[in-house]
Amino acid sequence: MRQQKTGRQKQKGWQIKDLKRGFEKFYEMHGYYPASHEIDAFEHLPSSRSIQRKFGGLVRVREKLSLNTSFDLRTGEHSSKRAKEINIRAHKIKKEVYDYLISIFEIEFVHREHFFTDDRRIRTDFFINDVSGNFSVDVFFSKNKRNLIGCLISKMRTYKSISMLQYPVIFLQMNKEISGEEIHEILARKKNKLRKYQRVMILGEFKKFCEGKRR
């Protein structure tokens, strides 16, 4: 039986109406319109190169669609403030995870910003050497459940390369307002399932996992 095509595979000739639906879907999930690198990772839009070639570029498309960008938090003063807040939060949660990991596995076995390739293009937040099996940890913060789905789609694309298939990876979601039960429900409904070496955890689950390895 022929498999049903999804996302970009369905599109034989992108039209402006398709772009409008894609931009609106991205906005619903993330609260802002996508930049070019985010378009490339979003299955409901063509590649940024295709948009440039067929429609004259991202700026022209947004003007043609009359997208309301006046409240887009990626621009101007809002963008700087938001970026600063995100960076502060990212530093804080990664430090929390790092401090915990070295308390369990010891500092020499916990590697930060581990690169899987010589060109340093593919990396993970933490790589842990353990006698029971090495694994990597990708730490992220989802502001809501819609954002969680978008994050997972992006991460699944990143962690499918051959260099990253060698070891299990844990996607560690750090927003305490999203429970483990909610994440499991989302994963159960998701059409594109995680690979067998991928797991999504909240901090409590992650700590049980790590402590179980040290028994």
Residue 6: pLDDT over 50: no
Query: What residues does each domain of the chain span?
Result: 13-64, 76-213
How are the residues of the chain apportioned to helix, strand and coil, as percentages rounded to the nearest 5? 50, 15, 35
Query: Residue 9: what pLDDT?
Result: 46
- Segment 143-168 shows an average pLDDT of 81
Q: What is the DSSP string of 164-177?
A: GSSS-EEEEE--TT
Segment 137-145 mean pLDDT: 90
User: Quick one: CA torsion of 45, 48, 49, 55, rounded to 10 degrees?
Assistant: 70
The fold for domain 76-213 equals: Trna Endonuclease; Chain: A, domain 1 (3.40.1350)
Convert the pLDDT of each residue in 25-52 to its tens digit: 888 777 778 877 778 778 888 888 889 8
103, pLDDT greater than 50: yes
Which of 186, 167, 165 lies closest to 175 in space, CA to CA?
A: 186
Residue 105 has pLDDT above 50, yes or no: yes
Q: What is the pLDDT of residue 69?
A: 53
C-alpha distances (whole Å) from 97 to each of 2, 108, 169, 214 are 44, 15, 15, 17
Higher local confidence (pLDDT), 93 or 150: 93
Distance CA 174, CA 143 (A): 10
Which residues are CB-neighbours of 5 under 8 A, at least 6 positions away? Answer: none
What's residue 67's pLDDT? 74
Q: What confidence score (pLDDT) does residue 2 get?
A: 37
Backbone angles phi, psi at 111, to 5 degrees: -110, 125
CB of 27 within 8 A of CB of 17?
no
CB 192 within 8 A of CB 153: yes
Pairwise CA distance, residues 66 & 86, whole Å = 28
Average pLDDT over residues 204-212: 94
